[in-house]
Amino acid sequence: MLKKTKVNAAILIIGNEILSGRTQDTNTSTIALWLNSIGVKVNEVRVIPDIEQTIIDTVNSLKKINDYVFTTGGIGPTHDDITAESISKAFDLKYEIHKEAFKILESYYKPGEFNEGRQKMVWMPKDAKLILNPTSGAPGFNVENVFCLPGVPSILKSMLGGLKNEIVGGEPILSHTISLRTVESEIAKSLTDVQNKNKDIEIGSYPFFQAGKLGVSIVIRSEDKSKIDNCSEQILDFVNKKNIEVVEKN
Amino acid sequence: MLKKTKVNAAILIIGNEILSGRTQDTNTSTIALWLNSIGVKVNEVRVIPDIEQTIIDTVNSLKKINDYVFTTGGIGPTHDDITAESISKAFDLKYEIHKEAFKILESYYKPGEFNEGRQKMVWMPKDAKLILNPTSGAPGFNVENVFCLPGVPSILKSMLGGLKNEIVGGEPILSHTISLRTVESEIAKSLTDVQNKNKDIEIGSYPFFQAGKLGVSIVIRSEDKSKIDNCSEQILDFVNKKNIEVVEKN
């Protein structure tokens, strides 16, 4: 399989509960870490409300400018679960009972329990490809480069593994962190110099406060391990000269 | 002060560390809950990388379609902190030393400690209004309807209080939650009926798993308490008829 050098994705979080602040989104971080590990970089995340036209417009815009789009939320049995119907409209596909999904849920539930509410979860865009759900039965689905996952974090997590062969990533994005006992302003100039000498490497600087002490984590990200090593050496060089304590490297 | 009925905002999270999954964003929820309490509804959240043109384009687009825009991240002393310069360009304003901010930080730090790295934090769009920082000195800033806050959650939190008089909200958005010992599919149809009878109320349904038991939280949101009460009554009505246990109401 020929790997592209840069593969990118957008994550689209659908749900009023995130926008209201009631629920803390954790799916972004779960999906992003998993995508990094298979060589896909997240370019953008959007959180939008449960409004059909907003979902349609946002999906149509994101799917054009990203290799992959992952949506979370809105595929359950209640009235506010409108992702499947909205995606059908976005792709101009019929919204209908998915026979394979119907069979899966029919055999998942005890006789008589596959009621009207649950049957809503098998309505999908015509000919959508299923994303199997080892936790609670109801599958997600995939149309072209858009992958629709549930909002419940534990269920979403359990479904990512099954997607591995559907996503063609580039080289995995590697990351190296150097945590220092210092403050950002002490290293800002030297770090800028290192960044200027390594323009194709992503260097981030993040203050932290742990066990009553201030520190800074420098995160170096690239697909190329030798470039990370080289950059790391240059950073440790000025760190040593400045007599700054290295708390952790990983 | 005349209150508008609907006031909305967008939150723009600027930072590679959120997109990589390394850092879990919590600022969205902090800002959204605070905005709700002063009658501002969050319409949209975007997370974007530390790329100047992306920041400029996204700010310019969001500020047009929202009453307020709140950005987080990228106002520290290091090379990856490019929010202030990007906002200057978005508004076509000079990026320059802000005299008031300079004075604040000059007196905040001990003599000799206000070094080159820290001085970067007083470069802002010309004539920006400062947002004071009671935690760590360095102020955020405001240009027109765009408010730029830091990314560190504890610092951001401490700065929101000072903004209260700058933001003119509508009626506070009230929320009432009814948590039930049931599953979504059992109540989906009845809840749809209630939603159809109360089209201007936002009703959300969220499954939860707590202490080994499944449940569903129904969240009713509106600016009008009597409408919430009415809707809540209709929900409790079918809940009683179905003999479903109410775990919590608040």
Q: Indicate whether B107 and B144 sit together in one domain.
A: yes
The C-alpha of B204 sits at a distance from chain A's nearest C-alpha, in angstroms, of 6
Query: Given B143, B163, B183, which residue is the final one in a domain?
Result: B163
* Domain membership flag for residue A3: no
Q: What is the pLDDT of residue A212?
A: 82
Could you give the number of structural domains in chain A? 2
The C-alpha of A143 sits at a distance from chain B's nearest C-alpha, in angstroms, of 23
Stated as kind and residue range, the H or E segment containing A175 is strand A174-181
| Contact across the interface for A17 and B186, Cβ inside 8 Å | no
Q: Give the tens place of pLDDT for each residue, B85-101.
A: 999 999 999 999 999 99
Q: Nearest residue of A to residue B46 by CA position?
A: A46
Tokens of A80: 């506010």
* CB-closest option in B21, B188, B219 to A120: B188
DSSP track, A68-89: EEEEES--SSSTT--HHHHHHH
* Domain membership flag for residue B66: yes
Q: Indicate whether A57 and A152 sit together in one domain.
A: yes
Q: Indicate whether A15 and A130 sit together in one domain.
A: yes
For residues B136-157, average pLDDT: 96
Taking one residue from A and the other from B, the number of pairs with CB-CB distance under 8 angstroms is: 185
With beta carbons less than 8 A apart as the criterion, state whether A93 and A171 touch: no
Query: Given A130, A145, A166, which residue is the final one in a domain?
Result: A166
Nearest-angstrom CA–CA distance, A145 and A68? 5
DSSP track, B140-202: EEEETTEEEE-S-HHHHHHHHGGGTTT----SPPEEEEEEEES-HHHHHHHHHHHHHH-TTSE
Q: Indicate whether A94 and A214 sit together in one domain.
A: no
* Domain membership flag for residue A1: no
For residues B147-154, average pLDDT: 96
Best B12, B19, B34 member to test A by mutation, with max A CBs in 10 Å, is: B19
Best A6, A17, A20 member to test B by mutation, with max B CBs in 10 Å, is: A20
A164-168, A218-222, B139-143: the lowest-pLDDT one: A164-168
CATH classification of the domain holding A65: 3.40.980.10
The C-alpha of B26 sits at a distance from chain A's nearest C-alpha, in angstroms, of 7
* CB-closest option in B45, B117, B186 to A184: B117
Burial of A213-245, coded b for 16+ CB within 10 Å and e otherwise, reads: eebbbbbbbbbeeeebebbbebbbeebeeeebe
* Domain membership flag for residue B168: no
Nearest-angstrom CA–CA distance, A229 and B195? 57
Q: Indicate whether A155 and A182 sit together in one domain.
A: no
Q: What is the pLDDT of residue A1?
A: 43
Q: Indicate whether B115 and B180 sit together in one domain.
A: no
Best A27, A79, A120 member to test B by mutation, with max B CBs in 10 Å, is: A79
Given a cut of 70, is residue A5 above it in pLDDT?
no
* Domain membership flag for residue B2: no
Q: Where does residue B155 rank: exposed (0-12), middle (13-18), buried (19+ CB within 10 A)? A: buried
Q: Indicate whether B75 and B137 sit together in one domain.
A: yes
Q: Indicate whether A23 and A144 sit together in one domain.
A: yes
Q: What is the pLDDT of residue A192?
A: 94
* CB-closest option in A43, A76, A191 to B49: A43
Q: Which amino acid is at A47?
A: V
Q: What is the pLDDT of residue A2?
A: 47
Q: What is the pLDDT of residue A171?
A: 87
| Contact across the interface for B16 and A189, Cβ inside 8 Å | no
* Domain membership flag for residue B169: no
Tokens of B92: 């076509």
| Contact across the interface for B204 and A32, Cβ inside 8 Å | no
Q: Give the tens place of pLDDT for each residue, B177-222.
A: 999 999 999 999 999 999 999 999 999 999 988 888 889 999 999 9
Q: What is the pLDDT of residue B1?
A: 43
Q: What is the pLDDT of residue B16?
A: 95
Given a cut of 50, is residue B28 above it in pLDDT?
yes
Average pLDDT of the residues of chain A? 94
Q: Give the tens place of pLDDT for each residue, A132-153.
A: 999 989 999 999 999 999 999 9
Q: What is the pLDDT of residue A116?
A: 86
Q: Indicate whether B157 and B47 sit together in one domain.
A: yes
| Contact across the interface for A45 and B19, Cβ inside 8 Å | yes
Q: Which residue has the higher pLDDT, A212 or B73?
A: B73
Best A11, A19, A196 member to test B by mutation, with max B CBs in 10 Å, is: A19
Q: Which residue has the higher pLDDT, A91 or B1?
A: A91
Q: Indicate whether A78 and A190 sit together in one domain.
A: no
In chain B, % of residues over pLDDT 90: 85
Q: What is the pLDDT of residue A210?
A: 80
Q: Indicate whether A221 and A139 sit together in one domain.
A: no
* CB-closest option in B49, B77, B205 to A80: B205
Q: Give the tens place of pLDDT for each residue, A29-72.
A: 999 999 999 999 999 999 999 999 999 999 999 999 999 999 99
Q: Please give the ipTM for the structure prediction.
A: 0.93
* Domain membership flag for residue A210: yes
In Å, how far from its chain's centre is CA B40? 9
Tokens of A191: 């770090």
| DSSP classification of residue A101 | H
Full domain range(s) for residue B24: 8-163
The C-alpha of A204 sits at a distance from chain B's nearest C-alpha, in angstroms, of 6
Given a cut of 80, is residue B3 above it in pLDDT?
no
CATH classification of the domain holding B185: 3.30.70.600
* Domain membership flag for residue B142: yes
Q: Which residues contact B51 (CB under 8 A, 6 or more apart)?
A: none
Query: Given A101, A136, A166, which residue is the final one in a domain?
Result: A166
Q: Indicate whether B131 and B107 sit together in one domain.
A: yes
